Chains A and B, each alone.
Chain A
């Protein structure tokens, strides 16, 4: 079965750090662009970052540049999002998703990140 299983997330104070993980199975992970998408409470979906198959290219939405780092380990079939200098506005459910024809065909279950003192 093709699936993405997420872990990490939780409650963190403003200025703190958190690392999200996304474990892939059922497909050749190293063949896929991977993306992080988030949804803040009461808001719509927001593209956060993506990473090329071999990790050689990474792209970010302006609001997280310099604070978030997307990475992957193809030997472990895993995607990561290191989040530093977290702000209240980063509070959201974070999803990892598999890229497929300029779209997302497989999504992780989502993990909640709450930034609050």
Chain B
């Protein structure tokens, strides 16, 4: 039940795009399309941004997009805004009814 691997930090200037990776293995991300992404603003509960790798819940801006290639999932934030500054966590099914989060990435808008 090892955590998925995310870079500790990422950054970009307003208007730019930034991509956050989430690396797992052939047993989790590589085997299932059950990857979701969460935004965590300071002092708030996590907010679902992407589910089932690429789908956006109602109300999430289309600036947020998800993808997957092999054992790595990615969250891309386009047209960066100041309010996007937050911690982002990936989450995936690992099989045998066990789930795991990534370690989290702190996104800074320069």
Contacts and interface: CB of A to CB of B under 8 A. Distances in A.
Interface in B21-38: 34, 36, 38
Contacts of A46: 3, 101
A103 B102 contact: no
Given A103-B52, A103-B91, A104-B36, A45 B101 contact: yes
A14 interface: no
Nearest to B87: A44
Prevailing SS type, chain B contact patch? strand
Interface residues of B, number: 24
A102 B97 contact: no
Interface string A23-62: 0000000000001010000001111001000000101011
Given A44-B89, A57-B97, A101-B51, A62 B104 contact: no
A116 B86 CA distance: 30
Given A44-B103, A103-B51, 20 more contacts: A44-B89, A44-B102, A45-B40, A45-B91, A45-B101, A45-B104, A57-B97, A61-B1, A62-B1, A95-B45, A101-B52, A102-B36, A102-B51, A104-B46, A105-B48, A105-B51, A105-B57, A107-B45, A109-B45, A110-B45
11 contacts: A44-B3, A44-B101, A45-B40, A46-B3, A47-B91, A50-B99, A61-B98, A102-B36, A103-B91, A104-B36, A105-B57
